[in-house]
Structure 1
Amino acid sequence: MVLVELATGTIVADPDEVATVLEPTADEAALSAAAGGNAGPIAIAFPSFTDGRGFSLARLLRERHGFKGEIRAVGHLIPDHGQFLLRSGFDTAEITDPDAVQVWKASLERIRHNYQPAVRNPLPLRWDASSKAAGMLDETLGKTGDLVSRIKEVAAQIEGRIAFSTSLGLEDQVILHAIAKSGVIKSGAEIDVFTLDTGRLFPEVLETVELSELRYRIRIRLVAPDAQEVEELVSRDGVYGFRQSVENRKGCCEIRKVRPLNRALEGAQGWITGLRREHSDARAEVPLAAWDADRGLTKVNPVADWSTDTLMAYIAANNIPVNPLHARGFVSIGCAPCTRAIQPGENPRAGRWWWENEDKKECGLHVNENGKEKEKAA
């Protein structure tokens, strides 16, 4: 017998074996007696995998009797029970076959968010465990400055699909080179490389896509915004309405970038970006890895601690293909109407939405609803 923590799909190393056992026939008096003054676990028996009375008992313990301790499922259980156990308020499940733990974990990961409210919402529990795991990954990545080793570690630690959203900028090209050199894709790691095709990219960006695909033999998927939403946006604000106000510009970014990104990240367990601390004051504390609670995944910024000198030296040493716009003074490259070249000494982000006076200019891809960096808020 092993005990599986449903919130994380992991084995409980030292389970408390002393538990009050309730049969599915338990009445109100038995529930009250079990919950009253009991801080220890309550085990609810499932005599067969088709007997669902245990789910109701767990809900009653949480809702009616306010039980805050561990509720454990025991008996005839199958992996498909996992999500129902979570939503009903169970914390752990006792299974007979230790080799089935991975099957249980896979079943729990198939549906990453509850589609109906839970009695004892398991997502914060999962987020807490995942946040700790992301923190451990951040610490591990910080112990090596070798980018290829960092990519290998990310692929080893994050199970499932890892999304790499590239803008084809300098940092992203370095990361793409490291992914190709690491061989993790060929060895079976599921890394989905994509870029947001907003409909207003510089031609040089698309040329860099093609050149990179030829060089690294990695397909870079183009993710486009919803056509109807774009039509409605332009009809409402005009072709260049994003220059009329910050609100209009952020609305344009929302439709052309944020929503397509969120769609592309659905179901991913990890998200690799090219954020660096030198980009701006708002990104000065960006970690190498952190748990993104809003999206339910681990966000990895493998070159966050790199200096510009380190970045440029790596590009030169490895003959990495870069966007030709960089040679013309374009440092941070977004949509063509919203990007200009910068002058020597200007902040790298000064060329983005240069007509705005905000200190922290972001498109919304890396900030939460309060306008703060997600990594800072985590």
Structure 2
Amino acid sequence: MEHVDLRTAELASSAFAASGSETGSLPAGATELAVTADRQERHAAIVEAVLAGNAIAVPFAKFNDGRGFSLARLLRSEHGFRGEIRATGHVIPDQALHLLRSGFDTAEISDADKLPHWQQALSSYNGNYQTAARNPLALRRQAALKQSGENKAAELGKQLAASGDLVERIRIIAKAVPGRLSFSTSLGKEDQAILHAIHEAGIEADIFTLDTHKHFKETLETLKRSEEHYGLTIRVITPNQDDLRELMARDGEEGFRASVAGRKACCMIRKVLPLNRTLRGSAGWLTGLRREQSAERAAVDFASWDGSLNLLKLSPLADWTEEQLEAYVSENNVPVNPLHAEGYVSIGCEPCTRAIAPGEDPRAGRWWWESMDGKECGLHIGGERLLDKVA
């Protein structure tokens, strides 16, 4: 089976292998979602797709079954799904524009010889008379925006690498970002250093923290002390209550311990979804990522383009060592979470964080009942793998 990219009218490259099923309608690795799915099933499918890095396949039993179009619209508008939605089964070229405008990215075709028919159907679009968020003209502009963003990130990264001063780096970022600059703080040591530099630089930034309802009391106390110390307000962002109720109904209070998928689903509801909602409309996102923190973060850039959120992701501490961080915090009297002094290097939710022994991996204290591979909550999984798949 081949599949056509509805945005470019070309055969699409894909990370998903050809189907091993008899009908060939479902690509291996994709999460299939029936047209009869209710809201909870749709939400569960998104969780599964995001955790596995999969597409969502919507099967059409007949070409004139309109329920697939409605389901794609719901995935985009109601659930904010940003990953690939693929039409499988009985779809025809005459449906190409309707598929695209409903939210589909790709459609399966039986062989490449049929591509010209799809190209002809997609070329009939007249952008002067049809407006939609997912029309070919808008999507082509999006591709141009991505290229521009990547170029800007590369240039900004060079500027940040050339400066060794954190306050100066923050000023460089503020000058380069052409819109709202957001800073999501975990109130950990790295983010406290950035908060101090923001204050010293005197720049405007939307500063917020994610309250998962599972924080240590020391973390919440650090929030209050930071606001008092710097004379500013840090916005507190909480999870969607409907999402939380669905999570509790499905997995229970301790579901995050039952499996890696259950834990990542909890992180998604409590952290990833609230973060992505809050970052919408931002032009830049400041983070406290350092290359030294873990193997997964060893290649962190000073600046990168997040195509899922259309913003610059900025990590001014990317090249800092633990010694540099400690010295900066000490020399500038930066308020820090007292748990750091008790062996908590990486501090997250209370049920999922423990102190570590000297010499242990800095991430060993997070979800310690899991293997050491890929210990991330999802906030900083690359845009192509996660943040572009959930809003």
CA separation of 1:150 and 1:370: change in aligned 2, threshold 3 A: closer
Question: Structure 2 length normalisation: TM-score?
Answer: 0.65
**1:347-368 CA deviation, whole Å, 9 max, x = no partner?**
1111000000141111111114
Contact in 1 for aligned 2:222/2:337 (Cα 8 Å): yes
CA separation of 1:369 and 1:116: change in aligned 2, threshold 3 A: closer
Question: Structure 1 length normalisation: TM-score?
Answer: 0.67
**1:290-329 CA deviation, whole Å, 9 max, x = no partner?**
1111211000000010000000000111011000110111
**Greater RCO, 1 or 2 (C-alpha within 8 Å, sep 6+):** 2
Contact in 1 for aligned 2:346/2:362 (Cα 8 Å): yes
Once the two structures are superposed, the pairs formed by residues 56-135 of structure 1 within 5 Å of their partners are 115-119=133-137, 121-135=140-154
Q: What is the CA distance between 1:160 and its match in structure 2?
A: 1.0
The count of residues paired between Structure 1 and Structure 2 equals 266
Once the two structures are superposed, the pairs formed by residues 182-201 of structure 1 within 5 Å of their partners are 182-185=201-204, 191-201=205-215
CA separation of 1:196 and 1:372: change in aligned 2, threshold 3 A: closer
User: Does 1:316 pair with 2:338?
Assistant: no
Q: What is the CA distance between 1:116 and its match in structure 2?
A: 3.0
CA separation of 1:181 and 1:114: change in aligned 2, threshold 3 A: farther
Secondary structure of residue in 2 paired with 1:164: strand
Contact in 2 for aligned 1:88/1:118 (Cα 8 Å): no
CA separation of 1:66 and 1:249: change in aligned 2, threshold 3 A: closer
Contact in 1 for aligned 2:344/2:354 (Cα 8 Å): yes
Q: What is the CA distance between 1:251 and its match in structure 2?
A: 0.4
CA separation of 1:254 and 1:164: change in aligned 2, threshold 3 A: same
Matched to 1:173, the amino acid is Q
Name the structure 2 match of 1:143: 162
Secondary structure of residue in 2 paired with 1:229: helix
**1:14-39 CA deviation, whole Å, 9 max, x = no partner?**
xxxxxxxxxxxxxxxxxxxxxxxxxx
Root mean square deviation of aligned Cα: 2.4
Q: After the TM superposition, list the runs of 4 or more consecutive aligned residues in structure 1 that deviate by more than 3 angstroms.
A: 63-67, 368-374
Name the structure 1 match of 2:310: 296
Distance 1:182 1:164 in 2: 14
User: Does 1:159 pair with 2:173?
Assistant: no
Counterpart pick for 2:358 among 328, 344, 358? 344
Once the two structures are superposed, the pairs formed by residues 258-269 of structure 1 within 5 Å of their partners are 258-269=272-283
CA separation of 1:350 and 1:260: change in aligned 2, threshold 3 A: same
CA separation of 1:234 and 1:320: change in aligned 2, threshold 3 A: same
Contact in 2 for aligned 1:165/1:271 (Cα 8 Å): yes
- Shifted more, 323-332 versus 226-235: the winner is 226-235
Counterpart pick for 1:222 among 207, 232, 236? 236
Name the structure 2 match of 1:367: 381
User: Does 1:284 pair with 2:302?
Assistant: no
Distance 1:235 1:148 in 2: 46
Distance 2:243 2:366 in 1: 23
Name the structure 2 match of 1:177: 196
Question: Equivalent pairs: percent with the same residue?
Answer: 50
Distance 1:293 1:223 in 2: 23
Name the structure 2 match of 1:248: 262
Distance 2:143 2:208 in 1: 29
CA separation of 1:252 and 1:361: change in aligned 2, threshold 3 A: same
Contact in 2 for aligned 1:168/1:322 (Cα 8 Å): yes
Matched to 2:328, the amino acid is Y
Matched to 1:216, the amino acid is Y
**1:106-131 CA deviation, whole Å, 9 max, x = no partner?**
xxxxxxx9613124621111110111
Secondary structure of residue in 2 paired with 1:278: helix
Contact in 1 for aligned 2:307/2:383 (Cα 8 Å): no
Contact in 2 for aligned 1:193/1:221 (Cα 8 Å): yes
Contact in 2 for aligned 1:275/1:301 (Cα 8 Å): yes
Contact in 2 for aligned 1:148/1:181 (Cα 8 Å): yes
Name the structure 1 match of 2:371: 357
Q: What is the CA distance between 1:372 and its match in structure 2?
A: 8.6
**1:124-166 CA deviation, whole Å, 9 max, x = no partner?**
1111011101110000000001000000011100011111000
- Flag the structure with larger Rg: 1
Distance 2:358 2:387 in 1: 27
CA separation of 1:114 and 1:313: change in aligned 2, threshold 3 A: farther
Q: What is the CA distance between 1:373 and its match in structure 2?
A: 11
Contact in 1 for aligned 2:226/2:335 (Cα 8 Å): yes
Contact in 2 for aligned 1:173/1:321 (Cα 8 Å): yes
Distance 2:324 2:194 in 1: 13
Matched to 1:203, the amino acid is K
Contact in 2 for aligned 1:329/1:341 (Cα 8 Å): yes
Secondary structure of residue in 1 paired with 2:218: helix
Contact in 2 for aligned 1:174/1:314 (Cα 8 Å): yes
Distance 2:244 2:341 in 1: 32
Matched to 1:321, the amino acid is P
Contact in 2 for aligned 1:282/1:373 (Cα 8 Å): no
CA separation of 1:164 and 1:88: change in aligned 2, threshold 3 A: farther
Secondary structure of residue in 1 paired with 2:348: coil
